[in-house]
């Protein structure tokens, strides 16, 4: 306590060096509230400084709310330590130490700024999420796919219709770190995209329990809630022979005995229906999910090792 180091050769003014050191002790709790500090003259004698310099230091600390100076009683620590404020102060002290070290290495402020920008870019890449686009015909299942993929952690998922990508392939290339597609569509998609290395072919499948529920449905007429014919084609092989499968979107026919809807669709989004409701999930199989996680981890490792070669 009260053992302060003053470096006259530092670019930081002497009074500021002392302010920072006393402030650090007060905010860290090393100098608790109520502690009496030496008088201006005593502090000046101990550190071989002028009284004017120490007076300036005390004035700064008082403006910061750290101390209280009275003519009769003396100078006392006023600051009451709080957890969150202490964290902020510790961060500022750490930055001050870093700046001091870099200045001692004869780096200019402009050079230090460049180093900070490079490091912030590097750490930003470590923290930034992976931008993932799923290209599929089954856009109705977007909510289900997004929920599963977000289990990987720190990924931003976008689902895009296959037909849209075929018309405008550039819409996803520049905005994606990873592009997922089915094995069937992967080959065509690789030819369309400027950077085919982003394409990862995975196996999507209808959940086994959902397929079983569709096969066990005894309704003569089954509706499937879908805007496109693609999802109907996916479901049709599981429908009982002899049953009629019709695509609906909007008003429901009264003669429907069952209705198949994507899991991501809420009941409020559907018209009133009293028949059997079958919810379906369409997602990556376990092997594809494991493979994708490995690829994502590899990308994150590369970002940490070679941040300058990657986009933010």
Higher pLDDT, 190 or 141: 141
> What are the tokens at 120?
């912030």
pLDDT of residue 27: 81
Q: Tens digit of pLDDT for each residue in 177-187?
A: 888 888 877 77
CATH of 208-280, one of 1.20.120, 3.40.1130, 3.40.50, 1.10.3470: 3.40.50
Q: Tens digit of pLDDT for each residue in 263-298?
A: 877 777 788 888 899 999 888 888 888 999 888 888
Higher pLDDT, 165 or 105: 105
Reading phi first (left if > 0) and then psi (alpha if -120 to 50, else beta), residue 202 is in: beta
**Selection from 31, 49, 32 nearest residue 40 by Cα:** 49
Higher pLDDT, 38 or 123: 38
Mean pLDDT, residues 119-146 taken together: 78
Cα separation of the two ends of the chain: 45
pLDDT of residue 178: 87
Higher pLDDT, 87 or 208: 208
pLDDT of residue 32: 86
Instruction: Express as a percent the part of the chain with pLDDT over 70.
Output: 89
- Structural contact between residues 145 and 283, judged by C-beta atoms closer than 8 angstroms: yes
Query: The dihedral of CA 43, 45, 49, 50: what is its sign?
Result: positive
Evaluate if residue 50 carries a pLDDT over 90: yes
- Structural contact between residues 162 and 155, judged by C-beta atoms closer than 8 angstroms: no
Q: Tens digit of pLDDT for each residue in 202-230?
A: 888 888 899 999 999 999 999 898 877 88
Evaluate if residue 83 carries a pLDDT over 60: no
- Structural contact between residues 199 and 183, judged by C-beta atoms closer than 8 angstroms: no
Do 131-205 and 208-280 fold alike per CATH?
Answer: yes
The domain spans of the chain are: 14-106, 131-205, 208-280
Longest dimension (CA), the chain: 102
CATH of 131-205, one of 3.40.50.2000, 1.10.10.10, 3.40.50.2300, 2.40.30.200: 3.40.50.2300
pLDDT of residue 125: 54
Q: What would be the CATH architecture of the domain defined by 14-106?
A: Orthogonal Bundle (1.10)
Q: How far apart are CA 117 and CA 64, in angstroms?
A: 29
Q: How far is CA 123 from CA 88, 96, 98, 109, 128, in A?
A: 19, 20, 17, 21, 8
Rg for the chain, CA atoms, rounded: 33
Confidence of residue 165 (pLDDT cuts 50, 70, 90): confident
> What are the tokens at 206?
């209808």
Which residues are 159's β-sheet partners? 134
Q: How far apart are CA 145 and CA 20, in angstroms?
A: 53
pLDDT of residue 306: 55
Instruction: Express as a percent the part of the chain with pLDDT over 90.
Output: 20
Higher pLDDT, 66 or 254: 66
pLDDT of residue 54: 92
Reading phi first (left if > 0) and then psi (alpha if -120 to 50, else beta), residue 207 is in: beta
């Amino acid at each position: 306590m009260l053992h302060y180091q003053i470096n006259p050769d530092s670019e930081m003014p002497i009074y500021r060096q002392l302010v920072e050191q006393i402030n650090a002790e007060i905010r860290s709790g090393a100098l608790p509230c109520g502690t009496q500090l030496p008088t201006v003259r005593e502090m000046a004698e101990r550190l071989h400084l002028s009284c004017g310099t120490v007076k300036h230091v005390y004035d700064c600390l008082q403006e910061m709310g750290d101390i209280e100076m009275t003519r009769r009683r003396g100078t006392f620590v006023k600051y009451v330590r709080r957890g969150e404020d202490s964290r902020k102060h510790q961060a500022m002290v750490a930055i001050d130490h870093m700046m001091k070290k870099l200045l001692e290495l004869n780096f200019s402020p402009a050079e230090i700024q460049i180093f900070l920008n490079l490091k912030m870019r590097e750490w930003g890449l470590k923290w930034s999420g992976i931008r993932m686009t799923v290209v599929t015909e089954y856009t109705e299942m977007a909510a289900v796919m997004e929920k599963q993929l977000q289990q990987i952690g720190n990924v931003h998922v976008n689902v895009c219709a296959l037909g849209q990508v075929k018309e405008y392939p550039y819409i996803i290339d520049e905005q994606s770190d990873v592009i997922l597609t089915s094995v069937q569509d992967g080959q065509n998609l690789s030819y369309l995209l400027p950077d085919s290395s982003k394409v990862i072919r995975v196996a999507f499948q209808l959940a086994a329990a959902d397929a079983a529920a569709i096969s066990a449905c005894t309704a003569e007429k089954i509706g499937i809630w879908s805007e496109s014919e693609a999802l109907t084609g996916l479901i049709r092989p599981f429908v009982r022979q002899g049953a009629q499968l019709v695509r609906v979107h909007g008003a429901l026919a009264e003669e429907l005995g069952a209705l198949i809807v994507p899991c991501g669709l809420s009941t409020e989004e559907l018209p009133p229906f009293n028949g059997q409701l079958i919810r379906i999930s369409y997602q990556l199989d376990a092997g594809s999910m494991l493979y994708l996680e490995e690829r994502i981890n590899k990308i994150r490792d590369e970002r940490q090792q070679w941040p300058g070669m990657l986009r933010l």
